[in-house]
Amino acid sequence: MTYEDELPGVHDSTSEVAAPSTSAPQPTDTWTRITTVDALEAKHRTEEVLACSHTFTVIGRGRDQAFEARVAHSSLADVGIMTSVYGSAVEIVCRPPMPTVTVSLVSRGSIEFLDERGRTTATVVPGRGAAVAYDRAVRMTWAPGTEQVMLVIRKDAVETALASMLGDELDEPLRFDALVDSNGTGQAVVGLVGTLGRLLSVEHPPGGASVLARELERSIVTSLLTTQHHNYSGRLLVERSVMSSKTVRRVLNYMEQAQGTPVRMSDLVQVAGVSERTLHDTFNRQLGTSPMAYLRALRLESARADLLHHTSDPAVSVTDIALKWGFNHGGRFAAAYRKKFGESPSETLRP
């Protein structure tokens, strides 16, 4: 058996999503790929990749719809993409517990999502998707020739992010159940899926690929949780408005502890458990500055205190102190320091 090809996506846990269509990424040698005409083999190998079981039934065969599974999967950090084509019509049933949250998109064909009572909860076609948390049984009926691209996120990563945003543990399974604006959330999520697909399709990923994947994961999870309605949306909206001061304190404490280490905006967003825009707005409203500007000012103050402390120590240089507090570009550090304190770092160190 060998491995091959593509996949598109969905948005539901009882929800239908109008979203821009997306093309399948191009799998490389690093992807797990399967090509088989054996339905049982396709089922078992897919279960191995996703680490979960499901029922798989071929419901249509014939000259124009011969069964041939072409599945490919790749992942970084807690996110991945699976592409799938089965040729003939198939039915897939997933029952909890499931370790993933998925976002499915199709570039061709359609997938009908039904609940345990047989009611249609979403119909995925090109331009429409579904996000599924698998909090309950889900039946998916694929039309012949359907090509799916599915974003796969570890459910515990989504639940951890949601708990952080709520400031409390989850007391019931996460369940998506509302429509998504095709010009809003759907478009943003599909764009992020496309970015992840391109990253995973690079033949020789750069050294920072895993870091980028983690940032993409955070962006994807935040987008899903803050803009697509689910059973925690009401609490989340209330907590985000009530907790703004608490959120700022949490971020400020993190900044204090991480002054000498590289910090990106995505790190602050993860600590805050809110979107980047919300974090910016809260900082500007309460502190009159942006998060990164506040961090830079904090580091400058720490660097100045350090320079003043070592005025009589000839073994300590401005460069040593700049690097200690996260300033890797000496010229920029000196310029920012002079602008804030009215003198150069060397003048402070050697008065």
Q: What is the pLDDT of residues 259-276, one digit of tens each?
A: 888 898 888 888 887 777
pLDDT computed for residue 274 by the predictor: 76
Average pLDDT over residues 200-219: 75
Q: Are 295 and 334 within 8 A, CB to CB?
A: no
Averaged pLDDT, 23-51: 89
The mean of the pLDDT values for the chain is 81
Structure-token pair, residue 342:
């009215």
Helix (H) or strand (E) holding 283: helix 276-287
pLDDT at res. 244: 61
pLDDT digits (tens, 9 = 90+) for 335-345: 999 988 888 99
User: How confident is the model at residue 330, as a pLDDT?
Assistant: 82
Q: Which residue has the higher pLDDT, 298 or 208?
A: 298
Are residues 51 and 32 in contact, defined by beta-carbon separation less than 8 angstroms? no
* DSSP code at position 143: P
Domains and CATH numbers, the chain: 2-223 (2.60.120.10), 233-289 (no CATH), 293-349 (1.10.10.60)
DSSP assignment, residue 148?
A: E
- Beta strand 32-36 pairing with 79-85: unpaired
Please tell me what DSSP assigns to residue 346: H
pLDDT tens for 75-120 read 888 899 999 999 999 999 999 889 999 988 888 999 999 888 888 8
Contacts of 308 (CB under 8 A, 6+ apart): 348
Tens of pLDDT, residues 152-198: 999 999 999 888 777 678 999 998 863 555 556 677 778 888 888 88
Q: Please indicate whether residue 3 or residue 209 has the higher confidence score (pLDDT).
A: 209
- Compute how many other C-beta atoms are within 10 angstroms of the C-beta atom of residue 191: 16
pLDDT class of 288 with cuts at 50, 70, 90:
confident
pLDDT tens-digit series, residues 101-111: 998 888 899 99
E-only strand ranges, the chain: 2-4, 17-18, 32-36, 55-58, 69-76, 79-85, 90-94, 100-108, 111-114, 120-124, 128-132, 138-142, 147-154
* Helix, strand or coil, per DSSP, at residue 10: coil
pLDDT at 10: 34
Strands (E), 54-212: 55-58, 69-76, 79-85, 90-94, 100-108, 111-114, 120-124, 128-132, 138-142, 147-154
- Give Cβ neighbours of residue 298 (< 8 Å, ≥ 6 apart): 255, 256, 259
Q: Where does residue 74 fall: left (phi above 0), alpha (psi -120 to 50 degrees), or beta otherwise?
A: beta
According to the model, what pLDDT value does residue 351 have? 66
Percent of the chain with pLDDT over 90: 28
The whole-angstrom separation of Cα 140 and Cα 88 is 14
Q: What is the pLDDT of residues 129-150, one digit of tens each?
A: 888 899 889 999 999 999 999 9
pLDDT digits (tens, 9 = 90+) for 4-33: 333 333 334 434 443 444 567 777 778 999
SS3 300: helix
- pTM more than 0.85: no
